[in-house]
């Protein structure tokens, strides 16, 4: 297991190098000059030249890439072109917020999907199954920008239960933090819950038809126990895969949700950076995302081992 883990981690290094090259070139293919965008209405030719020099954009692209890589070697992601703050610092400031949002919505998704998926698989074709299917399909098809604005209008504007936006750190005021994170987490979580429910249902249905389940039942194991102990465990393997993919998706989905609820997280920073052509910030963020997706899939691999011992010995 340890050797497997170390090998997987080492294999990530060349992958991430390829990612750096891709990110660096793609970001430079974006039309629009960062200096021109920043100067906007006050762009005199002299100011443009000076700002390009300040931003280091007048150096050859290859030199810029090598410098960036060298900085990366020292874990230095560079500085924002907008306000000159450190990119690593910015990411460090934003990532916990988005991570909290992703974890909350994932917890919510699992809390909804587990009972719904089981209920629906145990009695396929029943009214519960049909209701769950209907809800799940609506959840999958509802775009988060629509759901988000809907929630704001219902719960913040009309009922005035929860402020429409705002953010406080978890450490600073946990109660208020959770209250403010509730609507964004629901917005993000509904889609995942729907997908997870569908996966759990089909995977559980398949497992319930297996011989060992029938054997367990024949041996007189109680119905609930069969599902909880024998069927669910096996049915969860494909679901965990999807869960991992969802976590990656949540980081991306957060872009829209954070915009609606003004959550100062990773997604909003990325949108801002793209609009202002803040190249070092975009590069640093894409690279961080790549590293995170890798980390998540690595953890998922480890989780397989925990759920299904056969994977460990393979």
> Tokens for 122?
């145990």
Q: Give whichever of 64 and 86 is closer to another protein, judged by the CB atom.
A: 86
Closest Cα to residue 35, out of 24, 25, 19, 46? 46
Distance CA 217, CA 177 (A): 46
Q: Give whichever of 38 and 288 is closer to another protein, judged by the CB atom.
A: 38
Q: Give whichever of 31 and 60 is closer to another protein, judged by the CB atom.
A: 31
Q: Across the strands, what pairs with 86?
A: 79
Closest contact distance (angstroms) between CB of 172 and another protein is 12
Distance CA 98, CA 296 (A): 15
Distance CA 278, CA 282 (A): 6
Q: Give whichever of 122 and 152 is closer to another protein, judged by the CB atom.
A: 152
Q: Give whichever of 90 and 118 is closer to another protein, judged by the CB atom.
A: 90
Q: How many angstroms separate the first and last alpha carbons of the chain?
A: 10
Distance CA 90, CA 281 (A): 8
Closest contact distance (angstroms) between CB of 138 and another protein is 22
Give the binding site for another protein (CB under 8 A): 30-33, 36-47, 50-51, 53-54, 82-85, 90, 93-94, 149, 152-153, 156-157, 160, 163-167, 259-262, 264, 268-269, 271-272, 275-277
Closest contact distance (angstroms) between CB of 228 and another protein is 43
Closest contact distance (angstroms) between CB of 196 and another protein is 28
Distance CA 112, CA 177 (A): 22
CB 37, CB 81: distance < 8 Å: no
Q: Give whichever of 163 and 249 is closer to another protein, judged by the CB atom.
A: 163
Q: Give whichever of 90 and 208 is closer to another protein, judged by the CB atom.
A: 90
- 86 three-state secondary structure: strand
Q: Across the strands, what pairs with 65?
A: none
Closest Cα to residue 250, out of 131, 108, 154? 108
Distance CA 189, CA 53 (A): 45
Closest contact distance (angstroms) between CB of 169 and another protein is 10
Closest contact distance (angstroms) between CB of 162 and another protein is 9
Residues in the chain, how many?
314
Distance CA 171, CA 275 (A): 31
Closest contact distance (angstroms) between CB of 166 and another protein is 6
Q: Give whichever of 33 and 308 is closer to another protein, judged by the CB atom.
A: 33
- 79 three-state secondary structure: strand
Closest contact distance (angstroms) between CB of 106 and another protein is 23
Closest Cα to residue 186, out of 208, 156, 213, 158? 156
């Amino acid at each position: 297991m340890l050797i497997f883990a170390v090998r997987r981690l080492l294999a990530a290094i060349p992958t991430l190098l390829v990612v750096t090259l891709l990110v660096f070139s793609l970001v430079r293919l974006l039309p629009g000059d960062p200096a021109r965008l920043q100067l906007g209405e006050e762009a005199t030719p002299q100011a443009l030249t000076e700002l390009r020099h300040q931003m280091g954009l007048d150096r050859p692209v290859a030199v810029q890439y090598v410098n960036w890589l060298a900085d990366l070697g020292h874990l230095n992601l560079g500085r924002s072109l907008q306000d000159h703050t450190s990119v690593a610092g910015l990411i460090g400031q934003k990532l916990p917020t988005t991570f909290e949002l992703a974890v909350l919505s994932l917890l919510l998704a699992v809390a909804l999907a587990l009972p719904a998926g089981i209920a629906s698989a145990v009695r396929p074709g029943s009214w519960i199954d049909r209701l769950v299917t209907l809800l799940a399909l609506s959840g999958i098809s509802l775009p988060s920008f629509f759901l988000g604005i809907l929630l704001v209008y219902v719960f913040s504007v009309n009922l005035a239960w929860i402020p429409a936006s705002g953010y406080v750190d978890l450490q600073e005021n946990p109660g208020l933090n959770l209250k403010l994170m509730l609507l964004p987490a629901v917005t993000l979580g509904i889609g995942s819950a729907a997908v997870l429910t569908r996966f759990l249902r089909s995977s559980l249905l398949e497992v319930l038809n297996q011989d060992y389940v029938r054997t367990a039942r024949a041996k007189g194991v109680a119905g609930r126990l069969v599902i909880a102990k024998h069927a669910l465990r096996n049915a969860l393997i494909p679901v965990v895969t999807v869960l991992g993919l969802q976590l990656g998706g949540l980081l991306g989905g957060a872009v829209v949700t954070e915009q609606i609820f003004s959550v100062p997280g990773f997604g909003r920073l990325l949108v801002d950076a793209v609009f202002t052509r803040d190249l070092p910030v975009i590069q640093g963020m894409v690279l961080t995302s790549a590293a995170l997706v890798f980390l998540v899939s690595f953890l998922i691999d480890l989780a397989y081992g925990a759920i299904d011992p056969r994977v460990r010995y393979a």
